[in-house]
A and B are shown apart, each in its own frame.
Chain A
Amino acid sequence: MKKRWVSLFVENDIGVLAKISGLFSGKSYNLESLTVGTTEDKSISRMTIGLVSDDITFEQIKKQLNRLVEVIKVLDFTNTPTHMKEILFIKVKSCTKEEKTELFQIACVFKASVTDYGLDSVLLECVQTETKNDDLIRLLTGQFKQLEIVRGGSVAIESISMTDR
């Protein structure tokens, strides 16, 4: 089993997202994240799908996606250098003054930004890779008791300079 990434170009029509996600649920494929948005061509949407699977299942998933009438192109990003980012909001509640100071330091190291602030709460916004966001969450859940986490799912595009970012 391995983490995989797929980028899909699909028709920007009603029901296409449901069809893609329905394919995953209907065939019991493990879908971890799915983001979608329009491209430079308003009639085309681009999806970034993250999943975990073995090689054979993954090949089948790509074929199944390809055979859908609404799918224009399927790109396998698993072994492709990409720029990939995920938006993450973490609200840390019931903080002491010292803890708030520490949160500023953590934000600095993780290149997250403090986007909101209250008497005993801090809101961090982090646009990083899924893995870095995982690390940040792991760190904060170890240190703070009251967290509220919202993740947006990854978006990805092929690298120009052949390196992962």
Chain B
Amino acid sequence: MIPGTSLFVKALKEEGVTTLFGYPGGYAIDIFDELYKQDDIEVILPRHEQALIHAADGYARSTGKTGVCLVTSGPGATNLVTGIATANYDSVPLVCFTGQVPTHLIGNDAFQEVDIIGITRSICKYGVTVRNREDLGRIIKEAFYIARTGKPGPVVVDLPKDVMLALGSTAYPKEVNIRSYKPNLKVHSGQLKKALDMLKSAKEPIFLAGGGVTIARANKEFTELAELTKVPVITTIMGRGAIPTNHPLFIGNIGMHGSYAANQAVSECDLLFSIGTRFNDRITGMLVEFAPKAKIIHIDIDSAAISKNVVVDVPIVADAKQAVEQMLKDAASCNTEVWLSRIQNWKQEHPLSMAANKGITPQKIIEKINTLFPKAIVVTDVGQHQMWTTQYLKMDEGKQLLTSGGLGTMGYGFPAAMGASIGNPNTPVICISGDGGFQMNIQEMATAVGQELPLILCVFNNSVLGMVRQWQTLFYDKRYASTCLRSRKSCSKTCKKPGENCPPYSPDFLKLAESYGAYGIRIEREEDIEASFLYALENKKAPTILEFMIDSEEIVLPMVQGGKPLSNMILEC
């Protein structure tokens, strides 16, 4: 007979957990006490639970393992909510353990009691409170299984204090059998044959690769498929990297900030063969105008993702990797020469680029990352910098991009980069953030310094909430409501641009880095970009903030206004 806490630790070991992101509290203290006795599970202590779960998320995305969170009840648990929703949208396998008040107090409004299962019901894959000690092992086993199988996602396991202290069996199940959960991975061969026949007879086909391809780690096989069929490829933000971005068949990103060629190709293609995407509104633009000439084939592991937004002609429920592997056996080359030449013309007509005479631009910074860090893990926050990164970052073999694509969570980047660095200690990890998003979890400087993580934290500082300001510029007649990060109470409401009376920095990121024991430099000239990265590379045991001063007027182009057709792109302004 052992207490629940001991079985918990045993379960983690059986599941291969070596790193856990935790924040203690009264109703989790016994579990932490048990973990304290272990040498083979490292407990990372971020400074805020939201950062904690983003770190576990970054760890999971970059390693392919399941991320594990352990927090206390009440506020500890509720601080996970944004991270759970983020992981849910992007299909990240996480198991979130939350402390809970003893079972006899549940429902009594006890100190630090919340119904975390109720709160997270609609944003996690599965959630359960362990009410009996004898169920503990089975539930943990099921939690890991559910999180990582089928369409991966976050699972919440609520652990009442008395259950964790109660004595019970030492047995941890070897196998899982959940009658209500049997994910289907196998491809329906008849449907796949139909799809391949359509591909063969198409004159202007396109592959659209979403996050499902990268999550299934089918990049290599997918690239082979594109080469075999000679079909050009468009990716979503989450699917970027499904094919190397320097590959001649790669056209670009689709959607609101996709490339002209990619959006034009979708609007003109006669067959859209999509794998692992939800067709969210940022991708499709105006639905009735989306791929208007195309038959649509859709492979997705989640049947509910098929025909949810875009009605498809051939639905196929399957794991992306298994489907692509099957197609590699049966697919044939298509005659796409004329089509590829059309696409090439679109690429040349409107290439992605920012004006070279503007000095320091996001494009130049990201291109320097391309040159200096061919094998890095790049993590972004959310905003303009995220879009610039997905436009200009080269994604060749060995490069990983972690970004909050579905929920668009500001504050994700820095802690996710920490998690990626902890999971990949020998790989350079670069976080690209804005001055807005970076400040949302800025307290994690303490964690990164404590963990001696050599993170390169690029802050694109334009002193504003850039993406919202961009919309205000384009669609709200430059009424910059609540988007200036240097504003003071005395500022004019109609101010259009930070002027001479503004504080130069808010905050001073260099002083902030120094106060945490990290490094920081400010880069204001194009010619200093490379030197700044080389400086960061020297700091092997602490993070370095590279604060790039960006023009607040800089906007992400091209752009499709929300709800407008993809063919209706704003190319310049």
| A positions within 8 Å CB-CB of B | 10-11, 13-15, 18-19, 22-23, 26, 56, 59-60, 63-64, 66-67, 69-72
**Measured between alpha carbons, how far is A66 from B302 in the docked complex, in Å?**
10
Question: Is A59 a contact partner of B307 (Cβ separation < 8 A)?
Answer: yes
Given contacts A67-B151, A67-B304, A69-B126, list 15 more A-B pairs with CB under 8 A.
Answer: A14-B129, A22-B121, A22-B122, A56-B307, A56-B311, A59-B307, A60-B307, A60-B308, A63-B303, A63-B308, A67-B302, A67-B303, A69-B146, A69-B181, A70-B180
Question: Is B126 a contact partner of A18 (Cβ separation < 8 A)?
Answer: no
Give the chain A neighbours of B146 by CB distance below 8 A.
69
- Could you list 26 examples of A-B contacts with CB < 8 Å? A11-B180, A13-B128, A14-B129, A14-B131, A15-B118, A15-B121, A18-B118, A22-B122, A56-B307, A56-B311, A60-B304, A60-B308, A63-B304, A63-B306, A63-B308, A66-B304, A67-B151, A67-B302, A67-B303, A67-B304, A69-B125, A69-B146, A69-B178, A69-B181, A70-B180, A71-B180
Give the chain B neighbours of A13 by CB distance below 8 A.
128
Give the chain B neighbours of A19 by CB distance below 8 A.
121
Interface: B179 (CB within 8 A): yes
Question: Quick one: CB contact mask for B491-533 with A, threshold 8 Å, 1 for yes?
Answer: 0000000000000000000000000000000000000000000
Looking at chain A's contact residues, the main secondary structure is helix
Interface: B12 (CB within 8 A): no
Query: What is the minimal beta-carbon distance from A54 to any residue of chain B, in angstroms?
Result: 12
Query: What is the minimal beta-carbon distance from A32 to any residue of chain B, in angstroms?
Result: 21
| B positions within 8 Å CB-CB of A | 117-118, 121-122, 125-129, 131, 146, 151, 178-181, 302-304, 306-308, 311
Query: What is the minimal beta-carbon distance from B224 to any residue of chain A, in angstroms?
Result: 30
User: Can you name the residue of chain B whose Cβ is closest to the Cβ of A73?
Assistant: B180
Query: What is the minimal beta-carbon distance from B374 to any residue of chain A, in angstroms?
Result: 39
Give the chain B neighbours of A72 by CB distance below 8 A.
179-180
**Measured between alpha carbons, how far is A62 from B69 in the docked complex, in Å?**
32
Of A10, A14, A56, the residue contacting B180 (CB under 8 A) is A10
Give the chain B neighbours of A59 by CB distance below 8 A.
307
User: Can you name the residue of chain B whose Cβ is closest to the Cβ of A27?
Assistant: B122
Query: What is the minimal beta-carbon distance from A107 to any residue of chain B, in angstroms?
Result: 43
Give the chain B neighbours of A67 by CB distance below 8 A.
151, 302-304
Question: Is B303 a contact partner of A66 (Cβ separation < 8 A)?
Answer: yes
Give the chain B neighbours of A69 by CB distance below 8 A.
125-126, 146, 178, 180-181
Question: Is A26 a contact partner of B180 (Cβ separation < 8 A)?
Answer: no
Query: What is the minimal beta-carbon distance from B141 to any residue of chain A, in angstroms?
Result: 14
Do A64 and B118 form a contact, CB below 8 Å, given A14-B129, A69-B125, A69-B181? no
